[in-house]
Amino acid sequence: MAEILVDCRGETCPVPLVETRKAIRQAQPGDVIVVVGTHPASREEIPMAVRALGLELLSVEGTDTDWTIRIRR
């Protein structure tokens, strides 16, 4: 099981969401995708996308402007 890092720090709408989706598409089932970012809305919206895609949201940590989201494909 690989761990894939998506660094979206400094990026704004819609890049964190889009980059997360691209990483999910490239991941194998079971892989963990770790997204780090600073865009406040994406902290709420990436988990929404994860649920919509039927994937497992492992954790959301940090503040609105400095967060880490872990997803299992």
Partner 1 sequence: MSAELQRPERVTIILHSGDMDKVYSALIVGSGALAMGMEASIYFTFWGLQRLKKSGLEKGPLSKMNFLGLGKWMVRQRMKKANVATLERLMRDFKELGGKVIACEMTMEIMGIRREDLREDWIDAYGAVGTYIQEARGSQITLFI
Active-site residues, by number, are: 13
In whole angstroms, the minimum distance from the beta carbon of 30 to partner 1 comes to: 19
SS3 of 3, please?
Answer: strand
Query: Count of residues binding partner 1 (CB under 8 A)?
Result: 16
Torsion angle of C-alpha atoms 29, 60, 15, 56, degrees rounded to 10: 20
If one asks whether residue 53 binds partner 1 (CB under 8 A), the answer comes out as yes
Q: Find the binding residues for partner 1 in span 2-41 (CB under 8 A).
A: 10-15, 17-18, 20-22, 25
Cα(21)–Cα(49) distance, rounded to whole angstroms?
Answer: 8
Residues at the contact surface with partner 1, assessed by CB under 8 A: 10-15, 17-18, 20-22, 25, 48-49, 52-53
